[in-house]
Amino acid sequence: MSTEEHDDRPLDVAVVGGSLAGCATAVHFATMGYRVAVFEKRATPEEYHKQLCTHFVQPHTVPLLNALGLAHLREPSWSVATKAVFVTPGGVVETPGTGYDPERPESYALNLERRVLDPAIRESARRHGVRFAEATGVEDVEEGADGWSVVHTRGEAGERRYRARLVVAADGRRSRLAGLLGNEAESRPNERAALFGYFRGIEAPPDNRSVFVMNEQDLACSYPLVDGRTELVLFADKARVEGWRRGPEGRMQEFLKYFDGLAEAPSVADAVPEGPLLGYSDYPSLLRRPVAGSVPFVGDAALSLDAMSGVGCGFALLTAQLLARSFAGRNLDADGVRDGLDAYRREFEKTLLPHAEGICGDSLVGKDEATRKRMFETICADQELAAKYLALTGRMIMPAEFQRAFMRGLMARGAGAARR
């Protein structure tokens, strides 16, 4: 049921979509003193959450929880503080300490389940005074000559119109607003399928490490969760998964057999499934312009990338923060909106697109395995470079910084070999 009582007063900000990016955007603008409403096409009971997710919240994201009123989710009763270990063709990428940055012990990742995060961020938005119109779809958005936008909605109470200074598209991968505004997605191929499952009976690695095993062109992942549970995720060449036995039981047996064949992964000998496997076989990355007309796009509506990168939650919260910062200190008049959108476009392109290009490249499986092995041998031989690699995967540094460090490491390794 909708929690909204109809209110004809104009809005400062109308957010279309009530998942992570939408709620985070709403909280940020409400904190800035604006009058904000969220329009969500689904009915969202208290426990509603996204199911298809690795729940791996990258370290760059963890501090963003504080400004959203969600700092408590970093506590052990809600999530598991973790750090990635990569088992690669050239060795193991692991650095000492709990943090990705040795000088910052709290620079860790979180295994934070969406069944916890999604209800918590909706509740935070309500605490900040955000109005919610649930089971309410947006049918159209008109840009008025007076600088206001008119949002046409349809819900349980019929058709309604709302005036807003700023309309934000946070309506996900299949964004309806993108279609209405002609913001067509650029599709990039993803050659891997994915399977997700929750289990008991799997012992967590030391320090609750999250283990990522590169096996040929696949990536097998193990995430320790609260209450002694584990999520196993496999990103595999589509041909491999398509050849597995049909039916839920057959696929589960093949899935566990695969993990059992990986000596570096946590043992699954005593694994007990909590339910059936989830997953997808076709999930291309989608990239859209961050601004269409006078409407900014955030979260999956702006870029929905291969889940193997683990950036879905992080980029949802980051785009919300970038948008809010772009409007800090500005009025929501015509000039303020135009300047805020220009600033957001620049920050989006500078901060997110370089990562997106690398992620899309990693979604292709036809790579030179010998070159890949040499790359990871170089990384594993240099502790500083290994730390840079972890920082890159945690989106704490830009790809160009890692590439410069890698070239230095490669040249140093070559010079050392020549001296020998």
Per-residue pLDDT reduced to its tens digit, 199-242: 999 999 999 999 999 999 999 999 999 999 999 999 999 988 98
Concatenated DSSP letters of 22-63 = HHHHHHHHHHTT--EEEE-SS---TT----S---EE-TTTTT
Residue at 314 is within a domain:
yes
Residue 292 CA: distances (Å) to CA of 90, 315, 330: 44, 19, 20
Residue at 69 is within a domain:
no
Q: How many CB atoms lie within 10 A of CB 392?
A: 20
Residue at 352 is within a domain:
yes
Residue at 250 is within a domain:
no
Q: Collapse the DSSP code of 419 into the 3-class scheme (helix H, G, I; strand E, B; otherwise coil) and give the result.
A: helix
Residue at 63 is within a domain:
no
What is the enclosing helix (H) or strand (E) of 179?
A: helix 176-181
pLDDT of residue 102: 83
Per-residue pLDDT reduced to its tens digit, 293-338: 999 999 999 999 999 999 999 999 999 999 999 999 999 999 999 9
What is the enclosing helix (H) or strand (E) of 65?
A: helix 64-67
Q: Collapse the DSSP code of 407 into the 3-class scheme (helix H, G, I; strand E, B; otherwise coil) and give the result.
A: helix
Cα dihedral 349/355/356/362 (nearest 10) = 160
Cα–Cα dist 197/203, whole Å: 15
Closest by CA position to 194, among listed 307, 271, 276, 112: 307
pLDDT of residue 391: 96
Provide Rg for the chain, Cα atoms. 22
Concatenated DSSP letters of 90-125 = TEEE--SSSSSBTTBTT--EEE--HHHHHHHHHHHH
Terminal Cα-to-Cα distance of the chain (whole angstroms)? 72
Cα–Cα dist 266/222, whole Å: 7
Concatenated DSSP letters of 338-397 = HHHHHHHHHHHHHHTHHHHHHHHHHT-----HHHHHHHHHHHHT-HHHHHHHHHHHTTSS
Average pLDDT, the chain: 93
Residue 3 banded pLDDT, cuts 50, 70, 90:
very low
Residue at 163 is within a domain:
yes
Per-residue pLDDT reduced to its tens digit, 121-164: 999 999 999 999 999 999 999 988 888 999 999 998 899 999 99
Are 221 and 210 in contact by the 8 Å Cβ rule? The answer is yes
Residue at 367 is within a domain:
no
Cα dihedral 392/210/237/88 (nearest 10) = 60
Strand spans (E) along 145-246? 149-155, 158-169, 186-188, 192-200, 210-215, 218-224, 230-237
Cα–Cα dist 224/80, whole Å: 7
Cα dihedral 406/90/54/75 (nearest 10) = -80
pLDDT of residue 39: 97
Helix extents (H) in 219-262: 238-242, 248-260
Q: In the 8-state DSSP scheme, what is residue 270?
A: T
CATH code of the domain covering residue 311: 3.50.50.60
Instruction: Please compute, for residue 388, the number of CA atoms within 13 A of its CA located in the half-sphere on the CB side.
Output: 21
Closest by CA position to 353, among listed 383, 311, 391, 388: 311
Cα–Cα dist 413/418, whole Å: 9
Residue at 71 is within a domain:
no
Q: Is the pLDDT higher at 213 or at 409?
A: 213
pLDDT of residue 417: 52
Identify the domain containing residue 22 by its residue range.
Answer: 11-50+116-187+285-358
pLDDT of residue 4: 47
Residue 112 CA: distances (Å) to CA of 57, 67, 79, 224: 7, 17, 5, 10
pLDDT of residue 7: 65
Name the pTM for this structure. 0.95
How many domains would you assign to the chain?
Answer: 1
pLDDT of residue 1: 35
What single letter denotes the amino acid at residue 114?
R
